[in-house]
Chain A
Amino acid sequence: MKHACREISKLASDSLDRPLSVWERLRFRFHLSMCSSCNNCNENMILIRKSTALMQQTDYGHARLSEAQRQQLHASLDKNLCD
């Protein structure tokens, strides 16, 4: 099966976003039963999904404009407002 692992890795990702067709699912399951690398890849992707789902979004609650950014914004506003 040429290009098998490469195609299977795409199916592993796709299976997280859409239902696979019957044929795709058969091919996917069959390949995984024989190929530990692709099986690991599939499990890795699932673990990435599960751990990111549990993760809080990065908290930007305390993010502020730095003094330099603020100065720069005031300056570029001046420049643009005069044009």
Chain B
Amino acid sequence: MADDNNPHTWLNEHGDYLYRYAISRLHNEEQASDMLQETLLAGWKGHTGFSGQSSVRTWLVGILKHKIIDHIRKEIRERNLMTAVEADPTTPYFDTDGRWHEAPHAWHESPEALCSSSQFHDVLEQCMRKLPASQQAVFRMREISGEDTESVCKSCDITSTNLHVLLYRARMALRHCLQHHWFEQEKH
């Protein structure tokens, strides 16, 4: 067996590259590292199937891509099972008559001003990180990567109704978080 056909060598030579790929999709260091480990092991188990037509790196990225999609889908499936029994997270925003507990305020800042502020970027990032992983994943795909709803549904293997609910929950939580951690704070 050639010396470079070994997970330790792959880790040394392609580890950072694969890690960057994983973290840019998962936004979580621990999960990115786990996906990397699974990829190297899956690569090791299946390396006889490696045709050598593509580079080792391309081949490993292909495995990693599938691992990440599987991970997101699994997360969403588990979340859906939980959602069936857990309370709707938007309930606390309303009274039993469906009126606002805390009325939303008008926000007087332009999107251009907001997106050029690195402080706002940090606050938004912190607010997104507080979301359950499934909401975070679909919100990032839809709003930051600008994917259409059909493609998000396809990548996550969910129905459009399901996607609308996840995005609604994400937007409500972000609206609330930004209200408290940005718009209500002292002028920046």
Contact = CB atoms under 8 A, between A and B. Distances in A.
Contacts of B105: 40
Interface in B1-55: 7-8, 11, 15-16, 19-20, 23-24, 27, 29, 33, 36-37, 40-41, 44
Interface residues of B, number: 55
Nearest to A46: B111
A51 B114 CA distance: 6
Contact of B172 (A13, A37, A55): A13
Contacts of B163: 17
A57 interface: yes
Given A51-B120, A74-B8, A5 B100 contact: yes
Tell me if A's interface is mostly helix, strand, loop or mixed. helix
Contacts of B24: 57-58, 60, 63
B175 A18 contact: no
Interface stretch (B62-70, B76-84, B140-148): B140-148
Contacts of A64: 16, 19-20
B20 A37 contact: no
Q: Which of A2, A55, A57, A80 has the most chain B CB atoms closer than 10 A to its own CB?
A: A55
A16 B167 CA distance: 10
A48 B171 contact: yes
Interface in B88-120: 90, 93-94, 97-100, 103-107, 109, 111-112, 114-115, 120
B100 A37 contact: yes
A74 B15 CA distance: 11
A48 B16 contact: no
A13 B164 contact: yes
A77 interface: yes
